[in-house]
Chains A and B, each alone.
Chain A
């Protein structure tokens, strides 16, 4: 910039030359960005890399972990400023934004000639496609379900988990006893809470977006927000800390026995199993059904190619994740539900009663809403607005107005 142009060119030429020499001599090296962090996730990843290296000795994979909360910041600045990785992890919620900013390479051709495609039915690909082109290979899935304290249910004489919102509410009333610091529902009002706000809205019959236009049905949405917020505001079946409770807090509430039910997905099974006894202290159930629709998300996560330089090697790596060996390795380490149907038939899934609720959910579960700007709108508008309803700063009517206003702005 303040050096002369010639100096720049010289410097970049030297760098390019060095890079070229390196790749000519060695096996193809690709790097991989992901946001795995826990010990179990890292163990799963290490195993997959090991299996991949055995199958493809000519390709070496360098993994680089990035804190999940900063993953998109890092990817987006790599898109703007350069320095993209060869491959990277793509979760359903981020897919629309990633394709819109042109971060992903179209891999339709590779996918269509890939024999592993047979193990991944069409609905796996829907969340990884945009306008007919495929951009990522699904590897695992997060299936929404409900965790509940079986011992608390037994104690209160409740025989089965609630199947509808009405049942849910009445169970909630039975299980709450503030004097014992016990609340029925660990509601997520803090970061990430938007997910369930949107789910409840859809369960009450309000869509979000149709044909690229904001399509929130105002009366239905108001009804939904009122019902959901009242669990905290009026019924008081959620703990007082709800407005700032995010993933960590709802998990800790559940693990310490403060709450009897939480909504989350299969990804947290290992953590909960480490603290509570499966089948005795806690069990899992499908999400309860709303008055208009039964909503539970099945979010596929996979891997995409971020730049064209080493497409062939990159393709081998990301498609390897969709194969049965890799999926089982990940399942063993982390308990993450495989995307591949071949892996789903594995004894570890079919033989474990805890997974029954997830297998059931796969039949009716929906993909998360995917439109450009969804993540920003959800986090920057839905979350604070819903928090404001919880804390009494806004009425449900005002909140819905703001959500519609924000959604229109996001789609414009």
Chain B
């Protein structure tokens, strides 16, 4: 169809950009609208005259969410809970994922299924017994307790995702290292982990986002301001007799900023990890 490789490549490039732009518009459209909404006063949002560009730009929604919601405390709590969750998952989950991917042992498939099963019991019904347990060990209303609860459904997610990435990493290098006299541990640390580095980062990002955005557990396992997380604080803006669109939109914008920041940093690392892996390979 195409005359040369070059024109074929050009067509593919154009197609790629078309696809990327369409998807970006699909993703970004609602976000842009949310941003515009966050700059409008309530009277310009709830109106029969649709306003595309805000005529009265205001920052009162941001001020409102900052003053009403105890924002710094909530964000700090969310950060701590997320970090602890990711730390626990990375430390324990990487080992398990490696075992599932590289070692052959009896009952491997069943244990792997077992990890999944744990995720399958609906969170709705786990809340009460979990609360009873946390209370008994004094972890209710604590950020560590909340992180432990998150681990219960995020660790299996982490293990399964990471196993997929380990599987995708070529086994030949590891075998070569073993032949050169490296122990299994050495091969794992020096060969497999660097190779699956981007997968490790991607999986951690997922865990982090999921923990950052989690709502039901955070709501049910915490009461005091001391351990409440950001999504719960945000939901508190929605009252029985009000749904302040502007404030909620401002909250939405504020809540994606830290995640975006993290991701921008991590994405660079992901790319670097890839090229590094390629050089080593």
Chain A interface (Cβ within 8 Å of chain B)?
1, 3, 8, 11-12, 14-15, 31, 33, 35-39, 41-42, 62, 64-70, 73-74, 77, 80-83, 85, 181, 247-248, 252, 255-258, 267-268, 271, 275
Which residues of chain B are within 8 angstroms of A42 by Cβ–Cβ distance? 68
B57 to chain A, nearest CB (A): 20
A12-B136, A64-B223 known; A81-B128 Cβ under 8 A: yes
Chain B interface (Cβ within 8 Å of chain A)?
43, 46-48, 64, 68, 127-129, 131-133, 135-138, 140, 219-220, 223-225, 232, 235-244
6 CB contacts below 8 A, A to B, read A11-B136, A37-B240, A64-B224, A68-B240, A77-B220, A258-B48
Which residues of chain A are within 8 angstroms of B239 by Cβ–Cβ distance? 35-38, 41, 68
Q: Are B46 and A252 in contact (CB under 8 A)?
A: yes
Closest 7 CB pairs of A and B: A37-B239, A81-B131, A68-B240, A256-B48, A38-B242, A81-B132, A38-B239
Q: Among B127, B137, B244, find the residue whose CB has the most chain A CB atoms closer than 10 A.
A: B137
Q: Are A83 and B240 in contact (CB under 8 A)?
A: no
> What residue of chain B has the Cβ atom nearest to residue A270's Cβ?
B241
Residue of A11, A73, A267 near B220 (CB, 8 A) is A73
> What residue of chain A has the Cβ atom nearest to residue B244's Cβ?
A38
Q: Are B128 and A77 in contact (CB under 8 A)?
A: yes
A267 CA to B241 CA, complexed, in Å = 7
A247 CA to B242 CA, complexed, in Å = 9
Q: Are A83 and B140 in contact (CB under 8 A)?
A: yes
Q: Are A77 and B127 in contact (CB under 8 A)?
A: yes
Q: Among B127, B135, B140, B223, find the residue whose CB has the most chain A CB atoms closer than 10 A.
A: B223
> What residue of chain A has the Cβ atom nearest to residue B47's Cβ?
A256
A233 CA to B144 CA, complexed, in Å = 54
A295 CA to B157 CA, complexed, in Å = 54
Which residues of chain B are within 8 angstroms of A31 by Cβ–Cβ distance? 223
A37-B236, A67-B235, A83-B131 known; A15-B219 Cβ under 8 A: no
A68 CA to B219 CA, complexed, in Å = 12
Which residues of chain A are within 8 angstroms of B127 by Cβ–Cβ distance? 77
Which residues of chain B are within 8 angstroms of A81 by Cβ–Cβ distance? 128-129, 131-132, 135
Which residues of chain B are within 8 angstroms of A85 by Cβ–Cβ distance? 223
Which residues of chain A are within 8 angstroms of B243 by Cβ–Cβ distance? 248
Which residues of chain B are within 8 angstroms of A14 by Cβ–Cβ distance? 138
A378 to chain B, nearest CB (A): 16
Which residues of chain A are within 8 angstroms of B242 by Cβ–Cβ distance? 37-38, 271
A80 CA to B64 CA, complexed, in Å = 36
Q: 15 more A-B contacts (CB under 8 A) besides A1-B136, A82-B131, A85-B223?
A: A12-B138, A38-B242, A67-B238, A70-B219, A70-B235, A77-B131, A81-B129, A82-B135, A83-B140, A83-B223, A248-B243, A256-B47, A267-B241, A268-B241, A271-B242
Which residues of chain B are within 8 angstroms of A41 by Cβ–Cβ distance? 239
Which residues of chain A are within 8 angstroms of B238 by Cβ–Cβ distance? 37, 67, 69
> What residue of chain A has the Cβ atom nearest to residue B139's Cβ?
A11
Q: Are B68 and A39 in contact (CB under 8 A)?
A: yes
Which residues of chain A are within 8 angstroms of B225 by Cβ–Cβ distance? 64
B105 to chain A, nearest CB (A): 24
Which residues of chain A are within 8 angstroms of B220 by Cβ–Cβ distance? 73-74, 77
A8 CA to B138 CA, complexed, in Å = 10
B88 to chain A, nearest CB (A): 17
Q: Are B48 and A257 in contact (CB under 8 A)?
A: yes
Residue of A3, A77, A181 near B137 (CB, 8 A) is A3
Which residues of chain A are within 8 angstroms of B237 by Cβ–Cβ distance? 37
> What residue of chain A has the Cβ atom nearest to residue B240's Cβ?
A68
A37 CA to B238 CA, complexed, in Å = 7
B215 to chain A, nearest CB (A): 9
Residue of B138, B219, B244 near A67 (CB, 8 A) is B219
Residue of A15, A247, A267 near B138 (CB, 8 A) is A15
Which residues of chain A are within 8 angstroms of B137 by Cβ–Cβ distance? 3, 8, 11
A67 CA to B219 CA, complexed, in Å = 9
Residue of B136, B140, B232, B241 near A38 (CB, 8 A) is B241
Q: Among B129, B223, B235, B240, find the residue whose CB has the most chain A CB atoms closer than 10 A.
A: B240
Q: Are A80 and B128 in contact (CB under 8 A)?
A: yes
> What residue of chain B has the Cβ atom nearest to residue A334's Cβ?
B241
A177 to chain B, nearest CB (A): 14
Q: Are B46 and A275 in contact (CB under 8 A)?
A: yes
Q: Are A82 and B132 in contact (CB under 8 A)?
A: yes
